[in-house]
Amino acid sequence: MKKPVLGVLGATGVVGRNILKILEENNVVYEDIKFLASKKSAGKEIEFKGKKYTVLEAVPEAFEGINIVLASAGGSTSLALAKEAVKRGCVYIDNSSAFRMEKDVPLVIAGVNDEDIRTHKGIIANPNCSTSQLMLVLKPLHDFAVIKRMIVSTYQSVSGAGLAAINELKENTIAVNDGKTFQNKVFKKPIAYNCIPQIDVFCENGYTKEEMKVTNETRKILHLKPDTPISCTAVRVPVFIGHSEAVTVEFEKTITPEKVRELLNQAWGVKVIDNPEAYEFPTAVEAAGTNPVYVGRIRKDIAFDNAITFWCVADNLRIGAALNTVRIAEKVIDMQVF
C-alpha cells in the first residue's frame, strides 16, 4: 500500500492543533509530514510524535511533493491555495466552506457517505461543524424511515470561531466578574453570560449563512431531495468546547422512540445517553475531548405527526472539524485514491 506525504495546513490554529493530536491518536500511516501556516508562523517549531518540525509558509510551491493536505486555514486561504495544491498533485481536504457546495466537490462525513470520496477531483470538503455531528445520527434514521422535514436549533461553543473567540469569552467573563467594561471584537454582542442568535452573516431570506449551511449541507451529504424542508436557528453560547443541538425530524414512515434508540445504539460513532429519570443526558462539557456524537432526550414529538425530537452533543473541534478531516484522510489512504 502506497503511503502518503501529509501536509497539515493551518497547523498552528485551533483545528490544526487538534488534527495533530488525532493524527497521533489514530496512528495514521504516512511517509513524511509537513506543517504549513501563514507567513507569521513560518520558521516556528512544531513538535509531533517526539520530533521537531519547522512550520513552512503556505505558498503554492510548498505543496510540491505533498500527497494529502489536511487544511484548516480559513476560506480565503483555501480559495487562494487549494487549486494550486491540486495542480501539484495533492488531494486537498478542506475544513472551510469555500468549496462545500460545488458540484464536483464531495462533501463527506466518514462513516456516512464514504463512497462519495471516490468521485473527488482533487478537493474533498469537510462539512460545517453543526452539520457534521448531526449526520452520524440522522443517517441510520433516514435509512429506516426517510426524512421528510427537520427543525434544528444549535447552541454552539466559542471554539467554533477559533482561538480569538476562546480568548474573548475568557476575557469578557473576567471583565464582567470584576465589574469592568469590555469591548467585544470577535462577537457583535457580549458573549459572557449571554446567548447570541447570530453566527456568520445574514442572508437575504433572514437566515444566517451558518443556518443555511446546515440546510444545504445536510441535503447534499444524505442525498436528500434538493427541496427537503430544513430550518435552522444557530446560536452562539458561552461554552468553550462542544456544540449542542435540539432537533425535530418528521419522517415519511412511522418510527418510535424505542426504534430510534435501537438504531442509534447500533450506529457507528454515536452514543445514546438517555435515561431522563436518572437525569442522564449528554452535555457539551462531558462531550469535550471525546469522539462520539452523543444523543439523549429522545421522544415522540407532540407538534408534528410522525416526528421525533432529540438532543445531540459533540466536540465541535473533533467530529465538527479535525476528527472528520483525519478520518477522510484515512479513507483516502485506504481507498488509495491519492
CB of 202 to ligand NAP, least distance (A): 18
CB of 315 to ligand NAP, least distance (A): 9
CB of 177 to ligand NAP, least distance (A): 25
Query: Does the footprint of ligand NAP cover residue 69 (CB under 6 A)?
Result: no
Nearest alpha-carbon partner for 232 in 154, 134, 141: 154
**Could you say which of 120, 142, 232, 243 is catalytic?**
243
Alpha-carbon torsion angle 284, 286, 290, 295, nearest 10: -70
Facing residues of 56 across strands? Answer: 36
**Could you say which of 90, 129, 232, 312 is catalytic?**
129
Contact in structure between 70 and 8 (CB atoms under 8 Å): yes
Query: Does the footprint of ligand NAP cover residue 14 (CB under 6 A)?
Result: yes
Report the interhelical angle of 129-145 vs 257-266 (nearest 10°): 110
Nearest alpha-carbon partner for 153 in 274, 237, 271: 237
| Nearer to ligand NAP (CB atom), residue 37 or residue 333 | 37
Nearest alpha-carbon partner for 73 in 65, 112, 63: 63
Only one of the segments 106-114, 194-202, 312-320, 327-335 lies at the binding site for ligand NAP (rule: CB under 6 A); that segment is 312-320
Q: How far apart are CA 205 and CA 183, in angstroms?
A: 30
Site for ligand NAP in 107-146 (CB under 6 A): 129
| Nearer to ligand NAP (CB atom), residue 45 or residue 227 | 45
Query: Does the footprint of ligand NAP cover residue 221 (CB under 6 A)?
Result: no
CB of 161 to ligand NAP, least distance (A): 7
Query: Does the footprint of ligand NAP cover residue 58 (CB under 6 A)?
Result: yes
DSSP string, 203-227: PTTSSBHHHHHHHHHHHHHTT--TT
Q: Tell me the Ramachandran region of residue 122: left when phi exceeds 0, alpha when psi lies from -120 to 50, beta otherwise.
A: left
Q: Is 312 a catalytic residue?
A: no
Contact in structure between 112 and 221 (CB atoms under 8 Å): yes
Cβ-based neighbour number of residue 160 at 10 Å: 26
Query: Does the footprint of ligand NAP cover residue 10 (CB under 6 A)?
Result: yes
Extended beta strands in the chain, E state:
5-9, 32-37, 45-48, 51-54, 56-57, 68-71, 91-94, 123-125, 147-156, 230-236, 243-251, 270-272, 293-300, 307-314
| Nearer to ligand NAP (CB atom), residue 105 or residue 308 | 105
Exactly one of 3, 31, 32, 40 binds ligand NAP (CB under 6 A); that residue is 40
162-201 mask for ligand NAP (x: CB under 6 A)?
xx--------------------------------------
CB of 138 to ligand NAP, least distance (A): 18
Contact in structure between 136 and 211 (CB atoms under 8 Å): no
Exactly one of 316, 318, 326, 329 binds ligand NAP (CB under 6 A); that residue is 316
Q: How far apart are CA 174 and CA 255, in angstroms?
A: 47
| Nearer to ligand NAP (CB atom), residue 60 or residue 197 | 60
CB of 56 to ligand NAP, least distance (A): 10
Query: Does the footprint of ligand NAP cover residue 244 (CB under 6 A)?
Result: no
Distance from chain centroid for Cα 289: 14
Q: Is 243 a catalytic residue?
A: yes
Exactly one of 321, 323, 326, 329 binds ligand NAP (CB under 6 A); that residue is 321
Exactly one of 8, 22, 33, 41 binds ligand NAP (CB under 6 A); that residue is 41
Exactly one of 4, 8, 12, 307 binds ligand NAP (CB under 6 A); that residue is 12
Which residues form the interface with ligand NAP (CB under 6 A)? 10-16, 37-38, 40-41, 58, 72-75, 77, 95-96, 129, 159-160, 162-163, 316-317, 320-321
